[in-house]
Structure 1
Amino acid sequence: MGSLPPLDAPLPLGPEAFLDESRPVIDFLNGYYRDIESYPVRPDAEPGWLRTLLPDVPPEHGDPVEAILEDVQQHIIPGLTHWQSPNFFAYFPANGSAAGLMGDMLTSGLNVVPFSWASSPAATELESVVVDWMCKLLGLPDRFLFSCGGRGVLHGSTCEGVVSTLAAARDRALRSLGHEGIVRLVVYASDQSHATFQKGTSIIGIPPANFRIIPTSASSGYGLTADSVYDAVEADIASGLVPLYLCATIGTTGVGAVDPVRGLGEVARRYCMWLHVDVAFAGSALICPEFRDCINGAELADSVSMNPHKWFLTNMDCCCLWVANPQVLTSALSTNPEYLNNIGKGGTEVIDYKDWQIALSRPFRAMKLWVVLHRYGAAGMRAHIRRHVEMAKWFERMVRADERFEVVTPRSFSLVTFRLRPQNELEDEISVDALNRKLLVAINTSGRAFMTHFVVDNKFVIRMAMGGAMTQMRHVRDAWKLVKEKAKEVGAFPREYAQVREMN
């Protein structure tokens, strides 16, 4: 048997240990952000590469903080995709901020687990305040406010919110259909909707065959139309199926399409479907009055979700979910073992957020969102959003002004989709796609920027998504120069384009 540790050994969370070990980490991160532009945005790493650098077993005796940070610098940093790089234009941003980091530090440092009101009253109370703040900032209908019967919760991701609301809609329907009715339930989304909804539908037990992907087209801006949903629902009803759940999206992942919430809401009401509005990325823009029209009709929705960790300066992970009828949600997700019941103050009248989510345990997410709002204020956040929108407008103008390229879908919020045009009338789409794939690979392997792609109307398009907390106009200009430079390298421009004026 090993020897017992001395009873007076240093505590893992003593005040001295905290100061001695947190200061080097702060210094390390400060250096990382200072030097972040020196790293390739995306690494040139091979699968399994890190395993060859690290030991097969953990150390028997602990290493000092300095040694750990040296390993991070030598082994981890070179293999990261640097999401906080000002040259990161891929996916949608997962941007952080000094305030977001401060909130995360407080969350991790306090390290409470607020699954019930009694387990940490202030955490539950702050969460209810913060989601109401966000509801008002986004201009959502009052029916989602605590004072008007609705309520909100902070999840880790949209995926969690989708599964939770799908479960609530399912249980509401099965109360009248009986358990066997699950094979008759149908979920509707567009071909632009996030794949999360397909995954969530399978998780809650609805057959994949009952998930309807409704096509969209350029004529509607790739938004889901009420008529197309109506036709799909009517066909399903004629086959003995039951419409359950409809997803509307504001700012789809691929091209930033905006679904007409009011029209879809009217269809959902007609057929007693649950309407969920997904504003994961673009919801941040709703704090600006000029974007509020996008959410018109949200009073017809049963739930709305948005991700502050995407474009709202709030470090991962944080998703706001609002529901108009919280009792339907909690009845699908609640568990009440005796050991979790509130005794004494509060009793059954308080919120237990364990009943609003899939897991029992949960972090104190409200702290970091509250700190971000506290630190920057509504005006500061609006300026943050508008800055990226202006960058996207500039990039779109540059693409449109260069006849070698085309904007595939009109700019949406801070997202621009573009590609190289066909070089002549005889060039087929397969060749054009191959050229644009080569262009994207060349951009990303340069290490000077990172972009991702989408396929719309069978066209391979490159996505330029602005939103990084450290991104400035000079980075967007450099990205445009890089695009043109790499287009030449991959042989995109024949001789007849040689005299095309280079755009600044």
Structure 2
Amino acid sequence: MGSLPVDTLQPLDPDTFAADSSAVIDFLAGYYRDVDKYPVRAASLEPGRLRKLLPDSAPEWGEPMDAILDDVRRDVLPGLTHWQSPSFFAYFPMNASSAAFAGEMLSVGLNVVPFVWVASPAAAELETVVMDWMAKLIGLPDRFLFGGGGGGVLQGSTCEAVVCTLAAARDRAMARIGIGHEGILKLVVYASDQTHATSQKGARLVGIPPANFRVIPTSSADGYALAASSVHAEVERDVARGLVPLYLCATVGTTGLGAVDPVRELGDVARRHGMWLHVDAAYAGAAAVCAEHRGHLADGAELADSVSMNPHKWFLTNMDCCCLWVADPTHLTAALSTDPEYLRNVDGVAGGEKLAGDGAVDYKDWQISLSRRFRAMKLWFVLRRYGAEGIRGYIRGHVAMAEWFERAVGGDGRFEVVAKRRFSLVCFRLRGDGEEVDGVNRELLAAVNGSGRAFMTHFVVEGKFVIRLAVGGAMTEMRHVRDAWELVQRTADQLLLERRRR
């Protein structure tokens, strides 16, 4: 096994770069060919397993790429849950595609850091173009386009998007009502019991007291959507107590059940009380590329202050990539901007004059961190390589698979669909009430996942343990969905037979 002495180390030697990159691509191509042969969930769940296999210290000398990849194959892969397996139906999908991978390679290879305009003008401008393209594709109103007074930015996650918009809402509210930072104790955030927990985390991070976060119950009667009347009643009670309504989160495609909140009705409540309305469409926003799903998001979006969706979930874009649009960027940049001398866009030749003119964006002021990745490249590649029609077909294919699974569940009298299917998410369980039935459903899910042939996750709603099947993998075909249903049925047969014998 060769080594790399320090005096010959050339980290970006073009020939070595080509050879190492080719080795990794070949490794990944082989992995994707065989990914369906791995247990979907990590084969080993033993904490500390990898630490036992790896040396205590880093190597003194460099090692060949093939030796490193051999260790990945032997030691790392068995401890991974294979998110790109065609039988991965857990959480929500985490998409990947060859186009996104190519764009990511270019992004990583170029390795630019476009935090201010002058740091890489084309990178910043490509992001503004891509964000406008995406806004138009999913039917957002013109007020979210750069030409319409708004604009968009690529964040890493919904959590980052929520924190940024909460900070913008906080500072806007304090400026409007003329209170200092002590007034933050009066600000209140509203969400439903189906809203992703990232909203509560974000509220804490921007200083909102946990006691000022309102979790509003939903019910099956409303499809587990957040009712505007419930929000209005809660807001009225808070106003009567001298509190200040700050931020309302509406969700299109909730994590647990895929519920869709009524954006327009919630927008009316938000406008009436001066709240910031954020629409979280992390998962289901991708479906809005299809006309038949666009209304969930577009109806009322003109009343929102911000909208977010994650192309890395269901839009063929590798992690990480979250689109955040704001109707008025000045509120975002006022809360997040810094302007030290060393970061100003100054022309070094002319000396002292701003380079950034109309249309120039310093994206450091649109996010939490200073440094940032060139994420626009991979999303641009996805849009260019597959086109809107290709992505629509991809989304519709997954929805059709989920529709089939929903019908199959409904055709087996032992099972029930707990909530109406939304998009490509089906929530189901063995019928019955009480802890005993919940226990059977827990056993069913554990046995399915333990088989290694599929991976699903769960949710608890109104005290019921529910199994979730989320279709959306880039390699998933109808046969994988059928196999998953057959696995569920066979496993249920075994469990119910064992219980009758006890």
Would you say same fold, with TM above 0.5? yes
| Whole-angstrom CA distance in 1 between matches of 2:141 and 2:389 | 21
**1:64-103 alignment, distance < 5 Å:** 64-103=64-103
Q: Match of 2:20?
A: 21
Cα deviation code 1:306-340 (max 9, x no counterpart): 00000000000000000000000000000001000
Q: Match of 2:107?
A: 107
Determine which of 331, 349, 363 is the counterpart of 1:328. 331
Q: Match of 1:419?
A: 429
DSSP 3-state at the match of 1:41 = coil
| Whole-angstrom CA distance in 2 between matches of 1:157 and 1:348 | 29
Determine which of 193, 196, 206 is the counterpart of 2:195. 193
Determine which of 229, 232, 235 is the counterpart of 1:230. 232
Displacement of 1:45 after TM fit?
A: 2.1
Counterpart contact for 1:83–1:93, Cα < 8 Å: yes
Q: Match of 2:305?
A: 302
Structure 2 counterpart of 1:430, which letter? E
Counterpart contact for 1:487–1:493, Cα < 8 Å: no
Name structure 1 gaps, 5 residues minimum: 423-427, 496-504
Q: Match of 2:165?
A: 165
Determine which of 482, 485, 491 is the counterpart of 2:490. 485
Q: Match of 2:361?
A: 351
Is 1:50 aligned to 2:50, yes or no?
yes
DSSP 3-state at the match of 1:433 = helix
Cα deviation code 1:147-189 (max 9, x no counterpart): 1100000000000000000000001111222221100000000
**1:325-404 alignment, distance < 5 Å:** 325-344=328-347, 346-347=355-356, 349=358, 350-404=360-414
Q: Could you say what the CA RMSD is over the residues aligned between the two structures, in angstroms?
A: 1.3
Of residues 10-19 and 413-422 in structure 1, the stretch that sits farther from structure 2 once superposed is: 10-19
| Whole-angstrom CA distance in 2 between matches of 1:242 and 1:331 | 20
DSSP 3-state at the match of 2:249 = strand
Q: Match of 2:136?
A: 136
Determine which of 442, 447, 450 is the counterpart of 2:447. 442
| Whole-angstrom CA distance in 2 between matches of 1:347 and 1:326 | 16
Counterpart contact for 1:342–1:348, Cα < 8 Å: no
| Whole-angstrom CA distance in 1 between matches of 2:93 and 2:415 | 24
Cα deviation code 1:247-303 (max 9, x no counterpart): 000000000000000000000000000000000000000000001110200000000
Is 1:284 aligned to 2:289, yes or no?
no
| Whole-angstrom CA distance in 1 between matches of 2:361 and 2:22 | 37
Counterparts in 2 of 1:184 and 1:436: CA distance versus 1, 3 Å: same
Cα deviation code 1:50-86 (max 9, x no counterpart): 1000000000001100000000000000100000000
Structure 1 counterpart of 2:312, which letter? H
**1:175-254 alignment, distance < 5 Å:** 175=175, 176-254=178-256
| Whole-angstrom CA distance in 1 between matches of 2:324 and 2:31 | 33
Displacement of 1:346 after TM fit?
A: 2.7
DSSP 3-state at the match of 1:219 = helix
| Whole-angstrom CA distance in 2 between matches of 1:401 and 1:178 | 60
| Whole-angstrom CA distance in 2 between matches of 1:48 and 1:174 | 48
| Whole-angstrom CA distance in 1 between matches of 2:326 and 2:497 | 50
| Whole-angstrom CA distance in 2 between matches of 1:235 and 1:87 | 47
Q: How many aligned positions are there?
A: 486
Structure 2 counterpart of 1:40, which letter? P
TM-score normalised over the length of structure 1: 0.95
| Whole-angstrom CA distance in 2 between matches of 1:180 and 1:28 | 56
Counterparts in 2 of 1:222 and 1:5: CA distance versus 1, 3 Å: closer
Counterpart contact for 2:117–2:356, Cα < 8 Å: no
DSSP 3-state at the match of 2:117 = coil
Q: Match of 1:257?
A: 259
Displacement of 1:493 after TM fit?
A: 8.4
Q: Match of 1:429?
A: 434
TM-score normalised over the length of structure 2: 0.95
Counterpart contact for 1:435–1:492, Cα < 8 Å: no
Structure 2 counterpart of 1:171, which letter? D
Counterparts in 2 of 1:493 and 1:416: CA distance versus 1, 3 Å: farther
Counterpart contact for 1:89–1:451, Cα < 8 Å: yes
| Whole-angstrom CA distance in 1 between matches of 2:310 and 2:234 | 30
Structure 2 counterpart of 1:464, which letter? L
| Whole-angstrom CA distance in 1 between matches of 2:497 and 2:263 | 41
DSSP 3-state at the match of 1:177 = coil
Displacement of 1:488 after TM fit?
A: 1.6
Structure 1: 4+ residue segments shifted above 3 A: 492-495
| Whole-angstrom CA distance in 1 between matches of 2:187 and 2:50 | 45
Displacement of 1:20 after TM fit?
A: 1.5
| Whole-angstrom CA distance in 1 between matches of 2:368 and 2:312 | 19
Q: Match of 1:502?
A: none
| Whole-angstrom CA distance in 1 between matches of 2:474 and 2:6 | 46
Identity level (%)? 67
Of residues 348-357 and 436-445 in structure 1, the stretch that sits farther from structure 2 once superposed is: 348-357
| Whole-angstrom CA distance in 2 between matches of 1:492 and 1:261 | 46
Structure 2 counterpart of 1:42, which letter? R
Structure 2 counterpart of 1:405, which letter? F
